[in-house]
């Protein structure tokens, strides 16, 4: 039995597991599940992406003349976190570097994930601290997968994402998991993205500088889910053929550009954290 903790406040309930510090259930007051419940198509719920978001070219991290094999999205999602505290409506977990992480990623770090239920919302705070003696280059990302369709039997194509602001900038797409050199026209019309599984045939839609700091996922006659974020600079939107889920992913960092083979600390989009410093990024999921 995996080590899990259930948070509940009468309006929402959430379940977090120690493996990956992963949110694995989010239910409304009626007990209706909002999160994808894993499965062969995508066997995760809401993984934590750290210390990279996306893929490095050749899965290779270069640092001070040495190369390290660091797979897509890093290792945090596959590591067991330690509990720092647990209450009826909160929990906090931590992951430190060890010999296993240093074989992949040669930096000292402390990653804390804190979950808090607040009325009709779940707050998640991601804190990356540098206990080492050199600059800590890292990315962190949230990756919650929500059920799609929101109501059983509803056509997927009637669902939309409503951004807080019009999103007119070009978007980024991937080629073999790496960031294409040139941006592409946005599929977003003003503040609205019409959802269709075909949109993700070429992998994620990536906003590398979104104007919005919140997004509303909804459909006619269905409940809505609002995702808001602070500190994250990018947003990924993703699904996979055959999966009844939609991922809304605030990120700080992206996959490597197709032509990037330099030192890891020079990779675009990283947090660069000085020794003794820390950065906190947050995400709020509200059912409305």
> Residue 72 in contact with residue 55, Cβ under 8 Å?
yes
What are the helix (H) ranges across the chain?
99-102
> Residue 144 in contact with residue 245, Cβ under 8 Å?
no
Q: What is the pLDDT of residue 223?
A: 92
CB-count exposure of residue 83 (10 Å: 0-12, 13-18, 19+):
middle
Helix/strand/coil for 266: helix
Statement: residue 2 has pLDDT above 80: no
What is the per-residue pLDDT across 91-122, written as a single tens digit (0 to 9) for each? 999 999 999 999 999 999 999 999 999 999 99
Strand partners, 230: 282
Handedness of CA 78, 213, 35, 31 (dihedral sign): positive
Task: Report percent pLDDT > 70 for the chain.
Answer: 99
Q: What is the pLDDT of residue 113?
A: 98
Instruction: For the domain made up of 4-287, give the CATH fold.
Output: Beta-galactosidase; Chain A, domain 5 (2.70.98)
Rg (the chain; Cα; Å): 18
Mean pLDDT of 32-36: 97
Please state, in angstroms and rounded to a whole number, the distance separating the CA atoms of residues 48 and 69: 19
What is the per-residue pLDDT across 183-196, written as a single tens digit (0 to 9) for each? 999 999 999 999 99
Please state, in angstroms and rounded to a whole number, the distance separating the CA atoms of residues 68 and 174: 23
What is the per-residue pLDDT across 214-252, written as a single tens digit (0 to 9) for each? 999 999 999 999 999 999 999 999 999 989 999 999 999
CB-count exposure of residue 125 (10 Å: 0-12, 13-18, 19+):
middle
Exposure string (b/e) for 193-226, b if CB count within 10 Å is 16 or more? bebebeebeebbbbbbebebbbbbbbbeeeeebb
Helix/strand/coil for 240: coil
Sheet with 278-287, side-by-side order of all strands = 82-86, 90-96, 110-118, 121-129, 278-287, 225-230, 214-218, 160-163, 192-194
Q: What is the pLDDT of residue 215?
A: 98
* DSSP secondary structure, 48-77, as one string: EEBS-SS--GGGEEEETTEEEE--TTBSGG
- Could you tell me the residue ranges of all domains in the chain? 4-287
């Amino acid at each position: 039995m995996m080590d899990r903790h259930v948070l509940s406040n009468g309006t929402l309930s959430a379940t977090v597991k120690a493996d990956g510090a992963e949110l694995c259930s989010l239910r409304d007051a009626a007990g209706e599940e909002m999160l994808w419940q894993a499965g062969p198509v995508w066997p995760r719920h809401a993984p934590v992406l750290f210390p990279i978001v996306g893929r490095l070219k050749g899965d290779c991290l270069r640092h001070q003349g040495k190369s390290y094999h660091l797979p897509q999205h890093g290792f945090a999602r596959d590591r067991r976190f330690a509990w720092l505290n647990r209450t009826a409506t909160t929990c906090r977990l931590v992951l430190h570097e060890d010999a296993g992480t240093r074989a992949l990623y040669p930096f000292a770090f402390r990653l804390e994930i804190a979950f808090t239920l607040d009325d009709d919302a779940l707050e998640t705070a991601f804190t990356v601290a540098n206990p080492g003696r050199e600059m800590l280059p890292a990315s962190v990302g949230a990756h919650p997968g929500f059920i799609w369709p929101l109501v059983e039997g509803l056509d997927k194509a009637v669902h939309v994402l409503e951004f807080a602001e019009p999103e007119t900038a070009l978007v980024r797409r991937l080629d073999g998991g790496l960031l294409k050199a040139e941006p592409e026209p946005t599929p977003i019309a003003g503040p609205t993205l019409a959802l269709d599984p075909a949109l993700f045939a070429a992998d994620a839609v990536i906003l590398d500088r979104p104007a919005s700091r919140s997004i509303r996922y909804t459909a006619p006659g269905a409940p809505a889910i609002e995702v808001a974020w602070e500190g994250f600079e990018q947003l990924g939107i993703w699904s996979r053929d055959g999966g009844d889920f939609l991922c809304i992913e605030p990120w700080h960092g992206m996959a490597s550009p197709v032509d990037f083979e330099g030192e890891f600390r020079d990779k675009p989009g990283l947090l660069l954290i000085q020794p003794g410093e820390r950065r906190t990024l947050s995400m709020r999921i509200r059912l409305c």
